[in-house]
Amino acid sequence: MQNHKIIVIGAGPAGLISAQILAEKGFKVQVFEQNKASARKFLVAGNGGFNLTHSEEIQTFLEKYESIEIQNIVRNFDNKRVVEWLSKLGITTYVGSSGKIFPTKNFKPIQVLKAWLDYLEKLGVEIYYNHTFLNFDESYVYLKNNTTDLKLNYSKLILAMGGGSWKKTGSDAKWVEYFKSKNIKITPLESANSGYNTQKFLHQLQGQYLKNIKVSFENIEKIGEIVFTKYGIEGSPIYFMNRFTRKQNFPLIINLDLKPNLSEAEILQQLKGSEKISPILKKKIKLSTTALNLLKTLDKESYLDIENLAKTIKKFPIEILSFRPIDEVISTSGGVAFSELTENLELKKFPNIYCAGEMIDWEAPTGGYLLQACFSTGFWVGNSIGKN
Ligand SMILES: Cc1cc2nc3c(=O)[nH]c(=O)nc-3n(C[C@H](O)[C@H](O)[C@H](O)COP(=O)(O)OP(=O)(O)OC[C@H]3O[C@@H](n4cnc5c(N)ncnc54)[C@H](O)[C@@H]3O)c2cc1C
């Protein structure tokens, strides 16, 4: 086993877990990373609530992923196994009120990463920083370290260079061009878990939140919280819709139900027979200030027509114009097409080269599903190589 030279490119969650699995099986593993440190995007994820996976039962969990290939891989190393694996590293977790799984408060993101890196060091995994992957062929991987070019022979090469968002974390997606030059099909990288740009009149609501509303696009619905921004809207139900709006032509209409727990008839009933609309909306129907502000963007005639108003409260149309730019969004869709990969995630055109993590063509909403799929694909690749 020690004769096998296993090289991993990318010290993000996908690369590190594949290195771990192989090192646990006794393989010698070297990881090359272009940054000065490991897993910068993983740490960025930690800034806004570090949800490492989600506690949902497996069937509902898997529905968050579109393709059957990624569903199978996640099922094999699922949310329960992520929790077990973290516990092996000494990281305790808890389930938040939304079902998301976080490390307990005594573990800051940097401590989670440190515990993991310490374990990898004990296993003998070597991590080389400031090494940028340049290219590969059937036998060698080409890297650059400051001014020196390196040509390293490998038995197995794992590529885990991430998606294309937040370039400053190291995931610059330069690998896409190398892959394309080798005729490996790449589904174009696009913004995922992205806000939408909307019409200008909504920008006046910048900074205002709508809680417990239902967002819908065609027959897809999601309840949650959204926030208006200087360019449009953000929030988890918005990110959830990305996958369904991706293949459509913009502009598109998504609808907001501002009062999901009341029917249109119940709202109309409250509005009937009252001279003043705004106090009823506020005191009886209990719409939030932001919802009232949104309704005030209607023209006077539409606002005063109570039948129309009741309908609009249940189905406020928002015209969305486009996604936000790739560099600022949480993740990217697209990547190495599954048709280019064997069941083991090995490149069909280049046996002995494997892909893991966000650089593969899958997408998922926030809520722990992204890191979960990175852990699962890294585990899958490590195990596939380990079995051979
Ligand atoms: C703001 C933000 C918040 C997020 N929050 C969450 C969350 O709460 N929950 C969740 O599940 N997910 C979250 N994510 C997403 C999650 O962090 C990513 O999906 C995950 O880090 C991807 O893992 P990866 O290993 O595939 O790639 P990455 O983490 O991107 O790692 C790839 C590594 O490869 C290196 N690399 C790239 N190119 C080269 C090269 N040419 N040579 C050498 N090295 C290279 C990079 O420097 C990087 O270290 C968040 C992301 C962001 C940006």
- Looking at residue 89, its pLDDT comes to 95
Q: Are residues 51 and 164 in the same domain?
A: yes
| Count of domains observed in the chain | 2
pLDDT per position as a tens digit, 24-35: 999 999 999 999
Scanning 230-284, the segments in alpha helix (DSSP H) are 236-245, 264-271, 277-279
Indicate whether this model's pTM tops 0.85.
yes
Which tens digits make up the pLDDT trace of 70-83? 999 999 999 999 99
Residues 160 and 252 in one domain: no
pLDDT over 90, % of the chain: 93
Structural tokens at position 290: 């932001």
pLDDT tops 90 at residue 272: yes
The burial class, CB within 10 Å (0-12 / 13-18 / 19+), for 209 is middle
**CATH, residue 168:** 3.50.50.60
Residue appearing with tokens 């009741």: 310
Same domain, residue pair 200 and 187: no
Mark whether 186 and 203 lie in a shared domain. Answer: no
Percent of the chain predicted with pLDDT > 70: 99
> Residues 317, 334: one domain?
no
Handedness of CA 298, 301, 303, 306 (dihedral sign): negative
Q: Which domain holds residue 75?
A: 5-191+329-387
Domain boundary among 292, 323, 354: 323
pLDDT at 176: 97
> What length does the chain have?
388
Do 76 and 224 belong together in one domain? no
Q: Ligand 1 pocket test: pick from 132, 150, 330 the residue with the most ligand atoms within 8 Å of its Cβ.
A: 330
In this structure, the residue with its CA closest to atom 33 of ligand 1 is 10
Q: Name the residue with tokens 């290939």.
A: 69
Residue ranges around ligand 1 (CB below 6 Å): 9-15, 32-35, 40-42, 44-45, 48, 51, 132-133, 160-162, 165-166, 170-172, 174-175, 330-331, 357-358, 366, 368-371, 374
280-315: pLDDT as tens digits: 999 999 999 999 999 999 999 999 999 999 999 999
The verdict on 350 and 304 lying in the same domain is no
CA distance 376 to 80: 11
- In this prediction, residues 193-218 reach a mean pLDDT of 97
Q: Among 269, 289, 323, give the residue marking a domain's end.
A: 323
- Does 57 share its domain with 182? yes
Residues 93 and 158 placed together within one structural domain of the fold: yes
- Cα 386 to averaged position of ligand 1 atoms, centre (Å): 24
pLDDT grade for 3, boundaries at 50, 70 and 90: low
The pLDDT score that the predictor gives to residue 48 is 75
User: Stretch 228-232: mean pLDDT, rounded?
Assistant: 98
- Say whether both 288 and 366 belong to one domain: no
Asked if residue 314 and residue 218 are part of one domain, the reply reads: yes
Mean pLDDT over each residue of the chain, to the nearest integer: 96
Instruction: Indicate the residue among 293, 323, 353 that finishes a domain.
Output: 323
- Do 168 and 54 lie in one domain? The reply is yes
